[in-house]
Structure 1
């Protein structure tokens, strides 16, 4: 992993390990990293309401000699696309603050997910979907809506596709599965007991299981293949927001991969589906547009 490229993420992830004064320095940087690269050590110390030696200790905590070197690594992080970082919403945040934080966290989460997604694994996942006889998308809780969206996307590929959020239906489908069936398990934590049990059941019957979840989770270990989705938010406590955005984006990646694999001959089929909706929409009034 390129340390400089991920310095902002490193600061965010390690903030709780720092002492109280150093956490103030981290918060000042994460609040506006673009502006932080223009501060002197003294100016950053004043902004964070700490001493200048505290800023230097903070730098050494991240294996850099001082604030000038830290600023250079911040510049590299920003240039690499890590301009956004996840920030917790505070009880006294106004509309401007929590709107900025939610959008910033979503963008940061997508960037982190993209960096952690292995293109080789994506290609293997597309192969599994292309070769499947039928695909079942399973999700519970917040992931249930994502599974339904996947059904809406993937039925276009002339495949038998379904989406289910009921555990009993998921278990019954897994119990009668066979070789050629593909189950796509969508779980941000990968720790939902029912999905792990259903995954084992499906694989025992010869079906394949593709999971959109975090690596090394119980679900990932039970699956045929996993597309790694990092966990920048605590879904045990807070409302899951960026998790759904990441899951939906990964599914868009897979759908695009399938479209490209089908080639130009498949384009008329997709166009026919899209044009079938024209009659259900009011025409655009070009004069008033």
Structure 2
């Protein structure tokens, strides 16, 4: 039986001991950093009450309790698995449990996406971007943030990426793309009506299209010349946030940036060093 179970089965505790037990249950990690005096003060009890509680659950004292409590929490965190990407945490989770779940969510998303993203696809994407007269990224909502990060990185190695700055500008931007240009369309679901319309415009104008999506069989993906897949784990309906999808998309774009960087490593490295040196010189 676990310590947590022992603390919850409080029939054997008096009122003061129940107060200490409830505080420990509610503040799982914080208790590990408390002295016996601090814990007794926070629960309006005495150190002897804390010791008595520990002995009632089969331990020698508070130091023994903290050692076994720490081990139990670690075992619990390590056992957390199959995190729901739509609702990865609940109001019952401690900060430590949330930390563990988000880490697992990100790790799973990255591992799954890495397996889908073959070197051949990356090589083809780099070829298309290097050959392009003009590069554009078309994203909307949450996918706009990793796209903006990608644009910022390429700007620092002297590669211009066109993106709409205001809502509604994507359509106007798409009409300016022609044969010889390359557009990256980001749509996790692959079924956004707005993005589908934009992708149709790009296709009609003869632009080369790279689609980053979690749904390679979607309508938007069907218009692409190259598909860079990301792990599809989130639903398309209600969710707490786009933790998994945004991480996966960011990973693909960062990987693409890295491949573009090494395509002309010496030149790009010199550019980055020169830029950073210039900004360092401007500091007070």
- TM-score of the pair, normalised by structure 1: 0.64
Cα displacement (A) at 1:112: 0.8
Q: How many residues were matched structurally?
A: 200
Paired with 2:181 and 2:146, the residues of 1 have a C-alpha distance of 20
Alignment of 1:279 onto 2:276? no
Structure 2 match to 1:13: none
- Unpaired runs of 5+ residues, structure 1, are 1-82, 283-289
After superposition, the C-alpha distances for 1:99-142 in whole angstroms (9 at most, x for unaligned) are 21111111111111111112111110111111111211121110
8 Å contact kept, 1:140–1:166: no
CA distance in 1 between counterparts of 2:282 and 2:217 reads 46
Q: CA deviation at 1:85?
A: 4.6
Paired residue secondary structure (1:108): helix
* Match of residue 270 from structure 1: 272
1:159 shift after superposition = 2.9
2:131 aligned partner: 131
Alignment of 1:176-215 (within 5 A): 176-214=176-214, 215=216
CA positional deviation for 1:154: 1.3
1:277 aligns to what SS in structure 2? helix
Deviation at 1:166, TM superposition (A): 4.3
Aligned residue number for residue 217 of structure 2: 216
Distance 1:281 1:107 in 2: 37
SS in 2 for 1:183: strand
Give the drift of 1:207: 0.9
CA contact (8 A) 1:209 1:224 kept: yes
Residue 110 to residue 85, structure 1, CA distance change in 2 (3 Å): farther
Per-residue Cα deviation, 1:232-276 (whole angstroms, up to 9, x for no partner): 222521110121121111111111111111142442122212222
The answer as to whether partners of 1:189 and 1:213 remain within 8 angstroms in 2 is yes
Structure label with greater radius of gyration:
2
2:87 matched to 1:86? Answer: no
Q: Which has the higher contact order (CA 8 A, sep 6+)?
A: 2
Find the residue that maps to 2:231 and give its secondary structure.
coil
CA RMSD of aligned residues (A): 2.1
Task: Please give the per-residue CA displacement for 1:59-114, whole angstroms capped at 9, x wherever unaligned.
Answer: xxxxxxxxxxxxxxxxxxxxxxxx97534323422222222111111111111111
Query: Contact 2:163/2:170 (CA < 8 Å) preserved in 1?
Result: no
Which string of whole-angstrom CA distances, capped at 9 and with x for unpartnered residues, describes residues 127-171 of structure 1? 111111121112111011122111101123433322226453111
Report what 1:109 is aligned to.
Answer: 109
Work out whether residues 136 and 164 of structure 1, in 8 Å CA contact, stay in contact via their aligned partners in 2. Answer: no
Q: Secondary structure at the match of 1:216?
A: coil
Change in 2 beyond 3 A, CA 1:100/1:184: same
